[in-house]
Structures are given as C-alpha cells and as structure tokens.
Amino acid sequence: MAAQHSPSALLTAIINSLQDKIIPKTKTLVATGGSPFGASILSQSTLKTVTATVNAYRDSPLLHGETNCIREFFELPPEHRPDASACIFFSTHEPCSLCLSGIAWTGFPILIFLFPYEYTRDAGAIPEDIEILKEVFRVRSPGDTEEMLAARPLYNRKNKFFEARSVAELLEEVEDEEEKGRLGGRYRRLGRCMMGSREIGRRRMRRALGGTGTGVKVCSGPPRSSGVVREVFRSTLQKG
C-alpha cells in the first residue's frame, strides 16, 4: 500500500487533506444545513490532494462524499488527473455499499477511512451503512447459524479491487511513539472538528478513532447536532 511512503508520511498527507481541503468545505456545507461527510483523492506519488469535496445529497441522494468526489475527479481535465490506479482514496467515514462499489468501479486501489461504520451508526444514528450490507448483500450459506452469520465481515476489506483500512490502523504502523502520539492527537482533534463537538461523546469518539484520547481539544466547528444530521439523512433516504 503506497509502499514508497512511510506510514507516517501517508498519515500526515491524509490529515493535511482532511484539515486543509475537506473541513473548510464541510464548514460551508454544514452552515447551510448539510451533513459532514467528505472525501479526497490523493496522488500516490506526491501525496498531494487532487480532489476533495463533501456530499451533495440535496442534489441527488446518490451523491455521497465519496461518489461526489469521484464525480469531481473525473471532471478534471485528463492532463490534471492522475490515473485512479495511482491514487489513494480517503473517506471521512467508512464507505457505504454504494461508495464501495463506486471505488471498485473506478479503480482506486487504496482506501483509507476515518470513522468506522459503528461510529456512524452509534454517534450519527445512521445505521443504514451496516443495514444495507447485511440486508442486501449478505447471503446466508447452508448451515449458517445466526451467530456464524453475525460474525461474518460485512465486506472484503482486502479484495481484487482495493484494500481498505482505517486511519487508526494506519497509525498503529507508525513506529516512533512520539510521532504516533502527535499524529493521533491531530486526527482525533480534526475528527471532532469534522463531526462537531457538542453532541458527540468523547468516549465514543475515542473508541472509534483509537488511542487514549487524552489531550483531545475541542475545536470551534462545525457544531451541528447529530440529531439534525440524522433527520436530514433520513429524509434523503426516504426520498431515495
């Protein structure tokens, strides 16, 4: 996975992309009643952000952060766009089944996400990522008990098309403990910025993002209630 770069360099690039490219757009979106879900695409060779955006579900329920980012990426002139196979796809939330398929269809080999499904379900009260994978894609094999079915992964994180991992997992590969602490503190702080600080419990955030969470500071925005996020997404889902 982007073998030419150290885990620390890769993580730094992702954190910078989140901080400099995604969060400013999130603040604008949330200020107009949108939800904080975004994505960016980075060049594997330079680790620079090629495209970054947030969801546009009010234009279309299919324009999640990831699918909207894919759309914007392919709207770039070919001379300004590296091949998808030479890019890293970063998503603020573990992508739903729609977006996983979009990433597979468009050929991004590396997927890194910040918040896992469980966090989106528990803190954002949006269980549909998990529910759709279970209800639509998970087929019971003969002899499967409920426990066996429940224990089965929701999707192949390492597959023919891409390899997915979380930012917390990537952090574990950083060997220098001081660097690990610094990077962990940075992305957890930005995670709080991304999702808003008032409504989301610190313990839950810590569980989702790994680490002890000590010294996590609260930033000023975008302060949006998870209840509002849930409401907006529910109405979108109902419309869809």
Contacts to Zn ion by CB under 5 A: 64, 96, 98-99
Which lies closer to Zn ion via its Cβ, residue 99 or residue 200?
A: 99
145, 227 Cβ separation under 8 angstroms? no
Nearest distance from residue 213's CB to Zn ion, in Å? 27
Which lies closer to Zn ion via its Cβ, residue 127 or residue 221?
A: 127
Write the CB contacts of 50 (distance below 8 Å, at least 6 apart in sequence): 40, 41, 42, 43, 73, 76, 80, 81, 82, 87
88, 108 Cβ separation under 8 angstroms? yes
Which lies closer to Zn ion via its Cβ, residue 132 or residue 228?
A: 132
Nearest distance from residue 99's CB to Zn ion, in Å? 3
Nearest distance from residue 120's CB to Zn ion, in Å? 10
Nearest distance from residue 97's CB to Zn ion, in Å? 8
Q: Alpha carbon of 30 to those of 22, 54, 64, 94: distances in Å? A: 12, 10, 14, 20
Which lies closer to Zn ion via its Cβ, residue 119 or residue 197?
A: 119
Nearest distance from residue 5's CB to Zn ion, in Å? 27
Length of the chain: 240
Which lies closer to Zn ion via its Cβ, residue 87 or residue 96?
A: 96
Please confirm whether the linkage preceding 7 is cis (ω < 30° from 0): no
**H or E element: which one contains 49?**
strand 49-54
Residue 105 CB neighbour total at 10 angstroms = 11
Spatial CA neighbour of 182 closest among 48, 12, 44, 2: 12
